[in-house]
Structure 1
Amino acid sequence: MVTRPVVHGGQVHQVAKALGRSVDSFIDFSASINPLGPPASVLRAMQAALPACGHYPDPSAEELRMRLAKEHGISSDSIALGNGSSELIRILPLALSLRQGYVAGPTFMEYEASLHIAGARCTHVLATSGEKYAPPMEELSLLVDAIHAGSQKAARRGGESHTAVFVCNPNSPTGRVVTARSLRTLYRKIEEAGLWMVVDEAFIDFCPSHSLIKEISNARRLLILRSFTKFYGMPGIRLGYLVGAPETVATIRRLLPPWSVSHFAQEAGVAAVDDVRYRQRSVKFMQQERPRFIKRLREVPGLRIIPASANFVMAELPSTCVTAGLVSRMARQGLLVRDCQTFSGMTQPALRLAIRHPRDNNRVIHALKKALREGGCD
């Protein structure tokens, strides 16, 4: 089982209750959500969907799957929808009969948790602080080579692999991205070895050129996870999807609970995918605000900023810093930040900061500068 509890960002309700304050009194940098908020088109679609709440939702979510299929140029049979991508992650080890998972980390803890819940082993292949957390692609490649060499006899006997490699791209909490070219190279080795490759693209809308989703039609052992939470700013709606070979997706869909995706979520998803202007505005905003935010953070003495390609930035703190104390101090000022030491394999104290509106970003920078100057993370 998991050796420590899985901690997520966005725990504004718990913090507000503990401090006796209203939720609205906090600025949440701990959850990496698009600061532009959910598209107005999504809110209108959900309002229009209210009269249908007296009926069960479409269990196959056909309209949304067809819309996503058209968007990505793939078959609708290649898509499974879930109550957030986290629901899909939870059933993947069971659907693939996994006994072993190799996770490129430090990263989102749900991969590890889901493997352990299914009784599978989890091994982390870690990026390092010294390399600015560059994704460990060479290490993964060598690992796959070694597995392949050791499993060729079993493969000749018709044995089936029960091993998967998990990569979050761009990665959370580090913000680093792997190029599509590098991922394709790794996938070819993984397929040849008879393994599975799971790529979580929850943040890929902020750097879409690195997506592998167009590869799905010719990659039967590749699974891609997508989320509406981060880019479309709608975490409370709970909507995500998985893309893969139709036969694998059919197995996954059979394991999902009935009516997993509500009618409201389905209608919200269609509206979000259709809102091209929102997507363009969100990408433009992030391309402008991210470099400004990073530049200002690099001016804070004591912080080491990791290059980022998503809508958040990881900042390493001085090695003597107790991050829990700093996180608590910031919360009392109404600023929620993510303690990265709750991620498996993270050896250096660090924070993950969502990129929000410039005024909010300036406020958290000022608070961090003041806290570090006053020894606020001792």
Structure 2
Amino acid sequence: MLFGHGDDFYNSQSEIKINFSSNVWHGANLDKLKVNLIEQFDKLTRYPEPDAAQLKRLLARRYEIKENNLVVTNGSITAFYLLAQAWKGAKSMIAVPSFAEYEDACRLHGHEVSFFSTSDDLAELSLEGQDFCWICNPNNPDGRLIHRTELLSLIAANRQTKFIVDQAYVAFTTEDMLKPTDIYNHENLIIVQSISKAYNIPGLRIGYLIASPAIIEEVNKYIIPWSVNAVAIEASKYILIHPAQFTLPIRKWQRETAEFIYQLSKLDGLEVIPTATTFFLVRLKKGTAADLKQYLLSKYGILIRDASNFRGLDETYIRLSTQKSDENQELVNAMKEWLEQQ
């Protein structure tokens, strides 16, 4: 889905003043990171390590795992395509609605694809004959969350199936999530995470997958040398070495999200879907997501995510990521105005 994602900032013909469409932490202070990258500029005159070894070492130390449990990738999305490629023709079951690239990666590499709903009772889920189960947790686009104990029980009960758990939004909740060390008790678990979401650097494209050495060895057969560039490596190293500079105030952001949802819920003509994160779905009871998106963009310079292209959703769904309080209120006012015109 090359052009089917949320943040189509690059494609807008109008000035975008507020961006609700991208699920990243908007308040990250990148000043010191910027200075560091300028100081590291000369590294662009040399090839980076073929496998981002220094960054891998830092990640292993942070998560108390071994380096042979890690693959650093050009964004977490690359990890999905590598996994699908390494097991061409496998049988994959995907939770929906969710990130479209799981399905796209699987179909590109000849997987037999089936689906289950994120609202299904996991205890009743049948994975017989399935090679892979793909789960986004917390889930994009609805912010639904499977608690760690429930997810580990599912993984333990289906050892014949490899579970690819996308934790790109692990920093966007205070709930108990899978830990990298969980792979030692569950060899069929693959955790994929992103460095960019919590630090507002999605343009750098940096992510990683964590799994057993056997799985890592298979994935490494398909890694392209130098697939992670020097700027992304240096930025990620700086963030890992200076974590205090990049603390995401998740509880404050959650309070702002709760207030945002409360204000939206007072509007006639829409339904806010409950979430465990700082982003959420809204179902329009009148009008379409495409029309609302165009209205907000052309009149107010506000960009939202038309969520109609998520499998399982339709043209009435939008996704919003909480911004600053005054910006949230500006969107509430603009949506109220639009709804009154429908």
Band the TM-score falls in, shorter-chain normalisation: over 0.9
Alpha-carbon distance change, 225 to 98 in structure 1, aligned in 2, over 3 angstroms = farther
The Cα shift of 1:203 comes to 0.3
Residues 45 and 215 (structure 1), Cα distance of their counterparts in 2 relative to 1, 3 Å cut: same
Q: Is 2:10 the partner of 1:13?
A: yes
Give the distance between the partners of 1:272 and 1:369, measured in 2 at CA: 40
Residue type of the partner of 1:260? S
| C-alpha contact (below 8 Å) 2:288/2:315 kept by paired residues | no
Deviation at 1:354, TM superposition (A): 1.1
Match of 1:220 in 2: 187
* Alignment: residue pair count: 340
Residues 20, 305 of structure 2: 8 Å contact kept: yes
- Matched residues in 2 for 1:289 and 1:106: separation? 25
Contact residue 122 and residue 154 of structure 2 kept, 8 A: no
Rounded Cα–Cα distance in structure 2 between residues aligned with 1:171 and 1:272: 25
Q: 1:82 aligns with which of 68, 73, 78?
A: 73
Deviation at 1:46, TM superposition (A): 1.6
Superposition CA RMSD, Å = 1.9
1:156 maps to what in 2? Answer: none
Match of 1:107 among 76, 98, 111: 98
Unpaired stretches in structure 1, ≥5 consecutive residues: 128-134, 152-161
Distance change >3 Å, CA 279–CA 14, structure 1 → 2: same
Q: Percent identity?
A: 25
Matched, 1:189 2:172: no
Query: Structure 2: how far apart are the matches of 1:343 and 1:37?
Result: 28
Is contact 1:34–1:311 with CA below 8 Å preserved after alignment?
no
- What is the CA deviation profile of residues 163-211 of structure 1, one whole-angstrom value per residue up to 9, with x for unaligned ones? 20000001011111110011001101221xx111000000011226222
Confirm or deny: 8 A CA contact 1:33 1:311 kept in the other structure. no
Answer whether contact 1:30 1:352 (CA < 8 A) is retained: yes
TM-score (norm 2): 0.93
Is 1:143 matched up with 2:140? no
2:85 corresponds to which of 81, 87, 94: 94
Structure 1 counterpart SS, 2:338: helix
After TM superposition, list the pairs within 5 Å mapping 1:196-345 onto structure 2: 196-207=162-173, 209-318=176-285, 320-332=286-298, 333-345=300-312
Query: What is aligned with 1:172?
Result: 140
Q: More helix by proportion, 1 or 2?
A: 1
Deviations 1:213-257 (A, max 9, x none): 230122211111101221111011110111101121122123121
CA shift digits 1:39-98 (9 cap, x unpaired): 334323322210111100011212211111121111111110111111111121121334
Equivalent residue for 1:124, pick from 108, 115, 122 = 115
- Structure 2, unmatched stretches of 5+, are none
Which residue identity does 2:294 align to in structure 1?
A: S
* Local SS of the residue matching 1:7: coil
Q: Secondary structure at the match of 1:341?
A: coil
